[in-house]
Amino acid sequence: MSIRTVSTRPFPDQKPGTSGLRKKVPVFQQPHYLENFVQAIFDSIAAPQGETLVLGGDGRYYNRTAIQIILKMAAANGFGKVLVGQGGILSTPAASCVIRKHKAFGGIILSASHNPGGPKEDFGIKFNSSNGGPATETVTEAIFAKSKSISSYRILDAADVALDRLGETTLGSMQVQVIDPVSDYAGLMESLFDFAAIRSLLKGGFKLKFDAMHAVNGPYASEIIEKRLGAAPGSVMNAVPLEDFGGGHPDPNLTYAHDLVEIMYGADAPDFGAASDGDGDRNMILGKRFFVTPSDSLALLAANASLVRGYAQGLAGVARSMPTSAAVDRVARALNIPCFETPTGWKFFGNLMDANKVTLCGEESFGTGSNHVREKDGLWAVLFWLNILAVRKQSVEAIVREHWAKYGRNFYSRYDYEGLPTEAANGVMQHLRDSFAVLTGKQFGKYAVQTCDDFSYTDPVDGSLSKGQGVRILFSDGSRIIFRLSGTGTEGATLRVYLEAFEADVSRHHLDAQEALKEFIQIALHISELQTRTGRDQPTVVT
């Protein structure tokens, strides 16, 4: 075995987004493309010789090939040990768990999250730091800077590592340990939740269905839900991870998790339904013919945290991304704990958790988590819900409606316009910014615009400033319309429109969100000139 130094040239398009570098598989398959970015990571993080690295991914196409390349590059760059998930599998929250438990220097996670997989579809790579969370903007900016000047990378000439067999092997002078991807994570879940109470719930005839969407959480849900908690065989559907996610789109929402939705809205629906995404960090929660919005889910977890063993001691605080509804804000006020509003991106929650300022956090994009790891965690949210249901012994719908009666309801919806021409999407955002002065004070039916801004955030821990995080149109009654360009796509631009209207009147809480927001949606389209500027009459996805 020998270390080779390979000459290379920079690629101009390796700027990490909110969740690392995401491109189509053929882009990553270009000679030197993946290697350049991995070397840029290693050069930027400057890990001392002999450190431990965690490595794994969501099992999508190109995952195994990339892992072999990264292992050989890690050996050539002085790492002493790599913990890699068996078969190359590690869910994103499990990777965070392993980094933290084994005190690794950091980890490389291979995932494009909820994006489709396959030979012509999406692939992604990101670095997580020693706290288990996504790299800070300082680190990702350093990686991008290095990628623009890179001239060579180092790689070990060696045979591939056997990824399907547990145990240790050597790669040059580096130790590679193939680990059970589920065990550390499952143990952590068992320490947080009352598995005995959940087992009792399931033995009492409570039925559930968990859709792993042929993605990474299949093995985790099968082990925890069916084996450890005793759910009936088949309670976990689409449980085998596939490189193309079975041809599906592994995004747990009402559009893409259609198999589960049909079951949960069918004649003989189970009591509880849930789904997770490609890399296991997102979740969707359903009751019997009843959908729980992610914003409501975060608020309900906070309001019921005292019922759950791992959180019974109380919450230090809560945090939500700016586009997420303000439902959790009112829970925080009732609990007399702080509530932080951050930009979209889990890394912003990491600082707050490391400083013990928050315990629970969440995003409207179906991501919820806590300080047990430094990533959002889909299966954790499902277990939290099951623990609450086991204690309260009510239906999902009854629990949500009681919550609305106490705190009021935030009617909420998100419209995604995917694959837009980048120029057209940017034009919508610039038009909105140019309209701030005209919009302020303007009346639209019963809604009066109080103020408009482009959201910025000063981190209360490290003082860093994040600008341009989304346009907010704020109304005098607390309602909001938000426009934001997403950083998770790989083609064109994704423009997201978030609509939120607060309703205190219990007699109106039964309304469908789309019906309740009907007037608001038209206001948003009028203000933004979205249809005219993009040529799109309908959104790609409505949640």
- The catalytic site residues sit at 113
Sign of the alpha-carbon dihedral angle for 152, 153, 159, 162: negative
Task: Label residue 271 left, alpha or beta by phi (over 0 means left) and psi (-120 to 50 means alpha).
Answer: alpha
d(CA 112, CA 104): 23
CA distances from residue 451 to 98, 341, 470, 509, 532 in whole angstroms, order as listed: 45, 17, 14, 27, 24
**Any bridge partners for residue 493, and if so which?**
420
Q: In what order do the strands lie in the sheet with 541-542?
A: 443-444, 447-454, 471-475, 480-485, 493-503, 409-420, 541-542
CA distances from residue 166 to 95, 108, 178, 278 in whole angstroms, order as listed: 17, 19, 5, 23
Report whether 324 contacts 364 (CB < 8 A). yes
Sign of the alpha-carbon dihedral angle for 521, 525, 526, 531: negative
158-193 burial, b at 16+ Cβ within 10 Å, e below that, comes to: beebebeeeeeeebbebbbebbebbebbbebbeebb
According to the 3-state scheme, what is the secondary structure of 400-443?
HHHHHHHHCEEEEEEEEEEEECHHHHHHHHHHHHHCHHHHCCCE
d(CA 68, CA 74): 10
According to the 3-state scheme, what is the secondary structure of 357-415?
CCCEEEECCCEEEECCCCCCCHHHHHHHHHHHHHHHCCCHHHHHHHHHHHHCEEEEEEE
Task: Tell which residue, 12, 169, 210, 14, has the closest CA to residue 84.
Answer: 169
Residues 6+ apart with CB under 8 A from 187: none
Hey, what amino acid is at 85? G
Strands 290-292 and 283-287 turn out to be: antiparallel
In degrees to the nearest 10, what's the CA dihedral of 67, 68, 70, 74?
130
Listed in order, strand segments (DSSP E) in 421-540 are 443-444, 447-454, 457-458, 465-466, 471-475, 480-485, 493-503
Task: Tell which residue, 92, 18, 14, has the closest CA to residue 496.
Answer: 18
Q: At what angle do helices 183-192 and 92-101 cross, to 10 degrees?
A: 90
d(CA 229, CA 387): 11
Report whether 241 contacts 214 (CB < 8 A). yes
Tell me if residue 484 falls in helix, strand or coil: strand
